[in-house]
Amino acid sequence: MSLVTDQLTKRGVPHEVISHEQAYTSMDEALALGISADEVVKTIVLETSSGHAIAVIPGSRRLDIRAAEKAVGAKHVRLATEEEIEKDFPGYELGAMPPLGSLHGTPTYVDSEVMRHDTVVFAAGAQTESVKVRTEDLFRNEPVTIAPLTRLSSADEGLLE
């Protein structure tokens, strides 16, 4: 069991551990699992004026840094570098950060789109292990801020006209 699954078990969160081929990105993870990229959430480590924060967004979307600044309440938010992530979050492989800020005392911001899904799949700290869980169970008793963090891609915007 990993630190992530231990935490879920302690919190009484039903979950399913899924082993798969190595996946470096959420899109690779979705392909390896044979599911839609929207069902996978990716966790992005941000660097803010007050330290790290994590953003949890659908695997098919891109982070809107301006929206993240608004949600965090900071003027200068940037993506953490791989070196910062490896140094400050040991034990997690790159691209496999779980969406549980409580594991390391990091503020967590969840894109509102994530909450529209009954279940989500996320990397559990390793590039070969994912966890499937009901979305409401995952974030119950987890200190998160739900806010818009992504925007439609230009291709999606064309569909709305």
Question: CA–CA separation, 20 vs 74, rounded Å?
Answer: 37
Handedness of CA 130, 134, 135, 139 (dihedral sign): negative
CB 145 within 8 A of CB 109: yes
Chain-wide mean pLDDT for the chain?
90
Extents of the domains making up the chain: 3-149
Residue 144: per-residue pLDDT: 96
Residue 9: its H or E element: helix 3-10
**Domain 3-149 classified CATH 3.30.429.10?**
no
Residue 52: its H or E element: strand 51-58
Residue 66: per-residue pLDDT: 95
What confidence tier does 160 reach under pLDDT thresholds 50, 70, 90?
very low
CB-count burial class (<10 Å; 0-12, 13-18, 19+) for 117? middle
The overall pTM is greater than 0.85:
yes
CB 117 within 8 A of CB 135: yes
Quick one: average pLDDT of 49-71? 95
